[in-house]
Amino acid sequence: MVFNVTIYQHFRKHEHPFVDQVLSWKEQVERTFTTYVTDFLDPREQQIVSSLIGTTNEDIVFSFFGGADHVERRRAVIAPFYETIKEDDFDITMVEASFPEKFVTIEHRDILGAFLSLGIDRKKVGDIIVTENRFQIILTRELSSYVMMNLTKVKNANITLIENDFQNILIGEDEWVERQHTVSSLRLDIIIKEIYRMSRKDALHYIKGNRVKVNFTDMDDPAVQLMAGDLIYVRGHGRSKVVNIGGTTRKEKIRITTARLKT
């Protein structure tokens, strides 16, 4: 199977394997007239799926769902054009547990760590939503029984997981603070400098020290160009994202909107 090489110029080099994967899914659905359900995709991967399949494709349709409108990670269903995609087609469920907040503090990373210790692929897990004394995990339905049976402790707290309906999904306590910037470039080091209000030298230090992720992937190239929707994580400084890339100023600066997760 050969794809038009000009497609790749619109994507970063490290994204090319995922581009190949999406094109393979698309070709499979078109050729076999069978529905394909992906693993959970991060926001950037969802953008790639949308751009490669497009909303004007006459042969196939696609949709995303991850439990609710406010979640980040979603599965995609790609189907022949005559199919109507329903919520059940995504084959996901939600489990939850409560814990005594007076005696233990449980964070997102604690739950994810306990989950991954069961030997489960991260791509089988959607959003993890945590409040003061309760958390919810969205995951593929095929794993729910196994997880409820084996995930019995997080940090120092014994837990009991139960299934719940998506209509009861929590809204996490995350608060994003938006800011407007004008930047000379969309390079990773320049954007980190702006968002985290540090020197460019410090930004380079974090990037070269393998302390930066873009869309959940380690990124050690300071020159990589960021795009709208990119999620950034700088160890010790938290998460941020590029919300929007606007026009340019008279001095050829680029207007962007970013958001940083309040801690």
Residue 79 vs residue 102, higher pLDDT: 79
Question: What is the rounded distance in angstroms from the CA atom of residue 40 to the CA atom of residue 105?
Answer: 27
Q: Which tokens belong to 55?
A: 């909303």
% of the chain with per-residue pLDDT over 70: 96
What pLDDT, in 10s, does the model give residues 167-188?
999 986 667 899 999 999 999 9
Question: What is the rounded distance in angstroms from the CA atom of residue 42 to the CA atom of residue 36?
Answer: 17
% of the chain with per-residue pLDDT over 90: 72
What confidence category does residue 62 fall into, taking pLDDT thresholds of 50, 70 and 90? Answer: very high
CB 52 within 8 A of CB 7: yes
Is the overall model pTM greater than 0.85, yes or no? no
Q: Which CATH architecture has domain 92-168?
A: 2-Layer Sandwich (3.30)
What pLDDT, in 10s, does the model give residues 92-139?
999 999 887 777 788 888 999 998 999 999 999 999 999 888 999 999
Q: Per-residue pLDDT for 1 more than 50?
A: no
Q: Which of these, 173, 174, 178, lies nearest to 260 by C-alpha position?
A: 178
Going by CATH, does the domain composed of 176-261 fall within 3.40.640.10? no
Residue 98 vs residue 206, higher pLDDT: 206
Give pLDDT, residue 156.
Answer: 82
Give pLDDT, residue 2.
Answer: 46
Fold of 5-87: Ribosomal Protein S8; Chain: A, domain 1 (3.30.1370)
Q: What is the DSSP secondary-structure string of 70-95?
A: T-S-EEEEEEETTPPP-GGGG-EEEE
Residue 155 vs residue 75, higher pLDDT: 75
Least confident of 57-66, 72-81, 167-176, 209-218: 167-176
CB 106 within 8 A of CB 97: no
What are the sequence ranges of the domains in the chain?
A: 5-87, 92-168, 176-261
What confidence category does residue 54 fall into, taking pLDDT thresholds of 50, 70 and 90? Answer: confident
Query: CA 126 → CA 71, 140, 169, 184, distances in Å?
Result: 8, 8, 13, 35
